[in-house]
């Protein structure tokens, strides 16, 4: 009985903490989702999965596309002239997602 109570307490404490860990959904996410998926699992061949990628890496990659240091026309067009705050939001969102198993076998 005591064990059950402890388990129940643990559950009620864990759930809100998990929800609070997810950052707010970025406004620009809709566009990104066409290729990278809303939760960072790629939707088209050739697009990388972003779920669970390191925050500092994602932020740097996005800065590089925006500034042209990474000159990939597709991503440069997709990211456009975003502010640092928006860029940070997008990086936080994808970094906080849990990677999922691949839906399809890789070629």
Q: Which residues of this chain interact with ligand HEC, rule CB under 6 A?
A: 28, 31-32, 34-36, 46-48, 50, 58, 61-62, 70, 72, 74-75, 78-79, 90
Nearer to ligand HEC, 17 or 44 (CB): 44
**Measured from the CB of residue 105, what is the shortest distance to ligand HEC in angstroms?**
20
What's the rounded Cα separation, in Å, for the pair 49 and 26?
17
Least Å distance, CB 15 to ligand HEC, is 28
Q: Rounded to the nearest 5°, which phi and psi values hold at 38?
A: -65, -30
Contact 6, 64 (CB under 8 A): no
Torsion, CA 57, CA 59, CA 61, CA 65, rounded to 10: 180
Q: Which is nearer to ligand HEC, 39 or 70 (CB)?
A: 70
């Amino acid at each position: 009985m005591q064990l059950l109570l402890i388990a129940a307490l643990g559950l009620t404490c864990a759930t809100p903490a998990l929800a609070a860990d997810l950052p707010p959904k970025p406004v620009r996410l809709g566009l990104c989702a066409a290729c990278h998926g809303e939760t960072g699992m790629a939707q088209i061949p050739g697009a990388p999965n972003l779920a669970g990628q390191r925050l500092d890496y994602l932020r740097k990659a996005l800065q590089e596309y925006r500034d042209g240091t990474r000159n990939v026309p597709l991503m440069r067009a997709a990211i456009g002239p975003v502010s640092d705050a928006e860029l940070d939001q997008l990086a936080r969102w994808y970094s906080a997602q849990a990677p999922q198993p691949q839906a399809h076998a890789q070629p």
